[in-house]
Structure 1
Amino acid sequence: MRVALFVTCVNDLLYPDTGRAVVTLLERLGVEVDFPAAQTCCGQPQFNTGYRHETEPLVRRYAAAFDAYDHVVTPSGSCAAMVRDNYPRIAAKAVAEGRDRGLTEAAASAVPKTYELTEFLVDVLGVTDVGAYFPHTVTYHPSCHGLRMLGLGERPRRLLEAVKGLELRELEGA
């Protein structure tokens, strides 16, 4: 199984320890993780601010960067949702406007192999207990992208509930 980490531009610039922690976790679970240097932004900032045509080269770049991998894991629900939900729409619009230039194939190759981290752990690896210990009280806020676009459901909660020492409190209105 060939697995790549898509660290995302925000994590790379502001939270690089997140990427390191994901690699540490996956390697501890027996997964060999690659980090393709060709990866860049998924295009979400451009897409969300109305520069949708400008995301097309990033769709192709993402697909090319991760072409050799079976699974692409990202610690970002919004970036996973960008790939899985919006890449097909970007490609469809490009086809409708007569400028596909490989976007349909790029989206088709990227979408099924892109996973948000909790999905990968639970659905691909079959893991709900990662052996973590965190002796603190926490709450979980299910993100909009995780709920609506990715359908993560109870996966994040199942992982949190297995953390030794953790007291999980309900977030009102979650």
Structure 2
Amino acid sequence: MKLIRTALTNLPRDIAIQTQALLRNAYRDDPEPEYNYGPQLPDVVVLLLDGNFIAGHLAAYTRDVTIDTAPATIGLIGGVAVAETHRLQGHARAMVAEAHRYFVTRAIAFSVLFAASPAIYRSSGYRDMTNTTRFMDHDGTWKDLVYRDSMVAELANAHWPSRPLDLCGPTV
């Protein structure tokens, strides 16, 4: 097994095709023909390779946000997928750890994600986030709500504030 961290635009065509197949399988309920990274491409993707097989994917974004009224930069994680044959072996945790290393090199103190299965991320330091979150929904409208299954990890010696979070754009 090998982890690689690279820009999405640097993926060779065959790797990009395999990655899309993994993501289509993981996100079957999404009506899009290809995984939608959103209007902002991730800073990096973390891929898990088993030989020439793409067994895992994670997209890591940085985002300028406001917490209450204070500007901040946070990490956002999305598009986490592990092939069915490789699940329950700690690979998601390894990819999250690699994303955290990237965020720390950028002096980012917090990582936020919106989990379909929150229990998976607790071993990576995530806890429930109770902030009211403002974000642009898929239909272009702005929403303010406490996002169920939103989670935060503190990556530096800083405490996550329980103040309103404005993502200044869509979730990932």
TM-score in terms of structure 2 length:
0.31
Identify, as 1 or 2, the structure richer in helix.
1
